[in-house]
Structure 1
């Protein structure tokens, strides 16, 4: 089966992506991406696929997958109906590689990152410590989350029980995926036009798809709906304006492409957990205290 190329979009105000999944089961999704990926799977048992390695796993499972290595996990629902949790960190290759090559403090990561091209499985003690780190990342601000990511990389690099997964002769040569080019064009258009109404049919035309096919394509590639993606982008832009300008909230709403202030307030509260005015006040308080 040909793996699908996944488009990874960094978390807000971050250079990398952090996400926590809570699922009844993990569907088979054979894919790859140019980023490094740390995956911590909890409260589940099933099959782990990395390159040409297929193994059963259960309980806490911590794996580092290198860039462009096809991988997936696959589980059935737990017998007791409990939710399965997965923490994922996806780190751009160029960004991480430059940190390692330009700063001697990161040189200890070089051999681990090189071996990650085969997929790395970490020992029980390392995995248990990773659970605490990932859990604490959930509520951390972007800077603290970055520090914890570096702590996690250091922890993994010191693990003496780490083992490789895929064989040394496995190669995945066909990494061309026309879908990723289409998605890049669509996302570029969204970034350049987020301040106005954007319609699915015009994006579908860019991707040379029907509108219904485009919605399915976008959701599968980005793991979010088109509406959610656009709203998250607009709210991210709004946060920058709330921090760096004195524009009234109604003006910021217009600048970020929302059709009215009430909708802007509702979407902001849903994504950020507070209103635009409360967000702006909290930033001012932080500046005063600092």
Structure 2
């Protein structure tokens, strides 16, 4: 089966992507991307596919996959009905390799990152420590999440029980995917126009797809619906305006492309966990205390 190229979008205000999944089971999704990926799978048992390596796993499973290495996990639902948890850190190749080139402190990561082209499986002690760090990331702001990521990489590079997964002669020859070019054009268009109403029909035309096909294509590639993606961009801009301006909330709502203030308040609460006014007040309190 030909793997799919996944488009990875960094988390808000971050240079890399952090995500936590809570799932009844893990579907087979054979894919690759140009980012390094750290994946911690908890409370599940099934098959792990990395390159030409296929292994059974159970319990906590920590893996580092290098750029463009096809991979997936696949599980059934737990017999006791409990939820399976997956933590993922996806790190842009140019970003992390730039840190290594520019800062001597990061050079010790190079050998581990080079070896990750085959996929790396880590030992139990390292995996337990990774679980603690991922748990801390879940509730951290972008700066402290970055600190936890660097700590995790440091723990992983020192693991004496790390082992490679895929064979040294495995090569993947399908790293070009016209879909990624289409998605890049669509995302660039959204970034340039999200302050106004954007319709799926116009994006589908850019991608040369039917509207229904485009919706499926976009969600599969970004793991978000089109509406969610656009709302996240708009709320990100709203946060900047709430912090850096004294504009009324209704004005900020209009400037960020929302059709009415009540919808803006609802979307802001869903994404940020607070209302726009509460968010602005919390920033003011932090400034006073500092």
> Which category of TM-score, normalised to the shorter sequence, fits these structures?
over 0.9
Matches within 5 A, 1:119-198: 119-198=119-198
Q: Secondary structure of the residue that 1:55 maps to in structure 2?
A: strand
Aligned to 2:71: 71
Matches within 5 A, 1:9-88: 9-88=9-88
1:205-227 superposed Cα distances (whole Å, 9 cap, x missing partner):
11000110001001100001111
Q: Secondary structure of the residue that 1:37 maps to in structure 2?
A: strand
Deviation at 1:100, TM superposition (A): 1.1
Distance across 2 between alignment mates of 1:247 and 1:175: 47
Aligned to 1:255: 255
Deviation at 1:128, TM superposition (A): 0.4
Q: Secondary structure of the residue that 1:182 maps to in structure 2?
A: helix
Deviation at 1:174, TM superposition (A): 2.0
1:71-94 superposed Cα distances (whole Å, 9 cap, x missing partner):
000001111111100000001000
Q: Secondary structure of the residue that 1:166 maps to in structure 2?
A: coil
Aligned to 1:227: 227
Matches within 5 A, 1:206-217: 206-217=206-217
Deviation at 1:95, TM superposition (A): 0.3
Deviation at 1:288, TM superposition (A): 1.5
Distance across 2 between alignment mates of 1:279 and 1:197: 25
Deviation at 1:101, TM superposition (A): 1.4
1:113-169 superposed Cα distances (whole Å, 9 cap, x missing partner):
000000000000000010011011111000000000000000000000000000111
Distance across 1 between alignment mates of 2:241 and 2:5: 34
Deviation at 1:238, TM superposition (A): 0.6
Distance across 1 between alignment mates of 2:47 and 2:266: 41
Q: Over aligned residues, Cα RMSD in angstroms?
A: 0.6
Aligned to 1:286: 286
Structure 1's consecutive aligned runs of 4 or more residues displaced over 6 angstroms after TM superposition are none
| TM-score, with length taken from structure 2 | 0.99
Distance across 1 between alignment mates of 2:273 and 2:79: 34
Q: Secondary structure of the residue that 2:176 maps to in structure 1?
A: coil
Q: Secondary structure of the residue that 1:25 maps to in structure 2?
A: coil
Distance across 2 between alignment mates of 1:204 and 1:14: 28
Distance across 2 between alignment mates of 1:211 and 1:15: 31
Distance across 2 between alignment mates of 1:135 and 1:174: 35
Aligned to 1:200: 200
Gaps of 5+ in 1: none
1:223-279 superposed Cα distances (whole Å, 9 cap, x missing partner):
011111110110011111111112111111111000011110110011000011111
Q: Secondary structure of the residue that 1:80 maps to in structure 2?
A: coil
Distance across 1 between alignment mates of 2:74 and 2:51: 14
Distance across 2 between alignment mates of 1:209 and 1:235: 28
Deviation at 1:173, TM superposition (A): 2.2
Distance across 1 between alignment mates of 2:124 and 2:183: 38
| TM-score, with length taken from structure 1 | 0.99
